[in-house]
Copies of this chain bind each other. A is one copy, B any other.
C-alpha cells in the first residue's frame, strides 16, 4: 500500500509519458500510425484471432478496433477471412506483407530506443517492462469486462 503523494506522482508520470509515446510514434512509417502498428504487433504475438479478442487485447472499443483493422487490411497487412464456425466473425491473420511491415517497425523502434536509452542497463529496461506489465494487469483485473461474475444490485 503506497502513500498518497506516490499516487499523485504516478498520475503525473502517466500524464507526462504521452510525450514519450508521441516521440516514439514519430518514427513510424507514414502509412502505419500507432493504432495500426499495435494491431499488427498483437496479431503477431498472439496469433490469429477474432475482432472481439483483438479489441480486448487492445483494451479499446470494438468499433475503434474495426477501423484500425480496416486500415491494415486495406494495405494488405492483415487478412480477414470469415470464420466457418460462426459467420458473424472474421479471423484475422498476418500476411507476409504484414510481417515485413512489422519487421520494419521493430527496426525503427529499436533504433530510436537505442538512441534514447543508450545509457540504460539491461536490468533497468527489464524492470520498467515488468512494472508496466504489472500496471496494466492491475487495471485489467478491475475492468467491467468479463471476470465480473455477479454484482447486479440495481
Q: Which residues of A contact B (CB under 8 A)?
A: 1-4, 6-21, 23-24, 34, 37-38, 41, 45, 58-60, 106, 109-110, 113-122, 124-129, 131-136, 138-139, 142-143
Contact = CB atoms under 8 A, between A and B. Distances in A.
Contacts of A6: 122, 125-126, 129
B10 A15 contact: no
A14 to B, nearest CB: 5
B19 A59 contact: yes
Contacts of A12: 41, 45
B20 A34 contact: no
B7 A125 contact: yes
A138 B120 contact: yes
